[in-house]
Amino acid sequence: MAEEPATFRMSSDKDKLPPRPELFDFHGVSMTHYFTDNWENIQNFQARPDDILIATYPKAGTTWVSYILDLLYFGRTERQTSIPIFERVPFLEIFVPNMPSGKDLADKLPTSPRLIKTHFPVQFVPKSFWEQNCRVIYVGRNAKDNMVSYFHFDRMNMVQPAPGDWSDYIHRCMEGNMAFGSWYDHVNDWWKKKQTYPKIHYMLFEDMVEDTRREIDKLCSFLGLSHSDEDKKRVTTGVHFDNMKKDDMANYSTIEVMDFKISPFMRKGKVGDWKNHFTVAQSEKFDEDYKKKMTDLTLQFRTEI
């Protein structure tokens, strides 16, 4: 018998929503307590050999890739219409009062393989994922668009630190004073891990926007999945941004800590929206800082396609 999906609705009394957290230094990475309070249990998480870990910096395409993998492995079933994506693909490290913890949801997953997501920098990933030789899908997104998306996410998500104004936010981004730390460290350190751990498939958000079907083909090849062209076409259509944005089981509209009156969880899903936010001076300053920090020329991001 199918398990009843866990509810992520808290009290209807908005006063009982958890307070916005403060950032603090955690083992050299800027974090909030909602992602560290369950640290010991997370580090002792028991991965299985067929687990698939989806790793990203926040707002880099996590839900998109989660939905693609869910459809590739389990197809369009009742799960897709009755259980939200954040229960089908649990967020491992999240630990918010009055909500099921990500670890508990992951432990209770009835599926095989288990699809699990994390925003952890590579050094925080529980060692059992490496010991069990698990496959990892990493998704990177160009820094400017990633920052814009993260800014709007922080505005509407009550368990994220208050973003402040945009100009201050850009400075924080460049300093790495964000939940889950520096974008630069995150994308670079995962890229380095790929060089020594062959079971990492490193995807780029811009490539997915440019040709979703091509990137699904690459995913299938990495995972050893043999789907028909018709199946892949159905997945490609199913994960189109406009379709996902309207899908209550994919768009996070059932989580009360997110205020959709401020901004939707899925906003635009485009490449180049940064041009609507950065001034010329801000863009030039950001580019100058970017060149100093992105010294590995084998990792290239596109800011337009």
Write down the catalytic residue from 119, 152, 186, 201.
Answer: 119
Question: 210 near 231, Cβ under 8 Å?
Answer: no
pLDDT value for 6? 41
Give the tokens for residue 58: 């926040």
What's the pLDDT at 205? 95
Cα→Cα distances 36→19, 29, 86, Å: 16, 11, 19
Max distance between CA atoms of the chain, in angstroms, equals 59
Q: Count CB neighbours of 212 within 10 A.
A: 19
Compute how many other C-beta atoms are within 10 angstroms of the C-beta atom of residue 183.
25
- Tell me the C-alpha distance between 121 and 191, whole Å: 11
Domains and CATH numbers, the chain: 29-293 (3.40.50.300)
* Closest to 23 (Cα-Cα) out of 190, 184, 169, 189: 169
pLDDT tens for each residue of the chain, 305 residues long? 334 344 344 333 444 677 888 999 999 999 999 999 999 999 999 999 999 999 999 999 998 899 899 989 987 666 766 678 888 999 999 998 888 899 999 999 999 999 999 999 999 999 999 999 999 999 999 999 999 999 988 988 888 888 999 999 999 999 999 999 999 999 999 999 999 999 999 999 999 999 999 999 999 999 999 888 888 888 888 776 665 555 555 554 555 555 455 554 445 667 899 999 999 999 999 999 999 999 898 999 999 98
DSSP 8-state symbol, 111: -
Instruction: Measure the CA–CA gap between 62 and 104, rounded to whole angstroms.
Output: 20
Handedness of CA 86, 92, 97, 100 (dihedral sign): positive
Q: What is the pLDDT of residue 12?
A: 38
State residue 269's pLDDT score. Answer: 66
- Per DSSP, the residues of 210-254 read H-HHHHHHHHHHHHT----HHHHHHHHHHT-HHHHHH-TTTS-TT
- Whole-number pLDDT of residue 184: 98
Tell me, what's the pLDDT at 11?
36
The burial of 252, by beta-carbon neighbours within 10 Å (0-12 exposed, 13-18 middle, 19 or more buried), is given as buried
- CB-CB contact of 166 with 181 (8 Å): no
Give 232's contacts (C-beta < 8 A, 6+ positions apart). 213, 216, 217, 220
The helix or strand, by DSSP H or E, that contains position 136, with its residue range, turns out to be strand 135-140
What is the C-alpha separation between 48 and 50, in angstroms, rounded? Answer: 6
d(CA 193, CA 175): 23
- pLDDT for the residue numbered 3: 40
DSSP annotation of 70: H
Spatial contact of 219 and 68, defined as CB atoms under 8 Å apart: yes
Contact 139, 62 (CB under 8 A): yes
**Catalytic (active site) residue 119:** yes
Matching residue, tokens 């800014």: 151
Q: What is the pLDDT of residue 157?
A: 80
